[in-house]
Amino acid sequence: MAWISFSLSFIGMAAGLIYLEAESSIKGFFAMAYLFSVSSCFTLAKVIRDRHETDLSMVKAENKSSDKYMSE
């Protein structure tokens, strides 16, 4: 679903830029701004996911160490 929505938004933006009645420099600015915002969104999602996975692994490690001391 995410890839479908990304593909549709990318195609829509490309079509919008093609049919936009503006100079090439303005179209280029909009294209670069769009690509930069998409890249930033992917990077932000990855950082958030990585931080969440790190937090989960730390909790698991803490639980293992506390279980080890409780069983002794």
Q: What are the domain boundaries of the chain? A: 2-71
Q: When comparing pLDDT for 66 and 5, which is higher?
A: 5
- Identity of the amino acid at 5: S
pLDDT value at residue 63? 73
pLDDT tens digit sequence for 15-45:
999 999 999 999 999 999 999 999 998 999 9
- Identity of the amino acid at 14: A
Q: What's the token pair of residue 3?
A: 């890839």
Q: When comparing pLDDT for 62 and 13, which is higher?
A: 13
What is d(CA 72, CA 61) in angstroms, rounded to the nearest whole number? 17
User: Does position 71 have pLDDT exceeding 60, yes or no?
Assistant: no
Q: What's the token pair of residue 21?
A: 């009645």
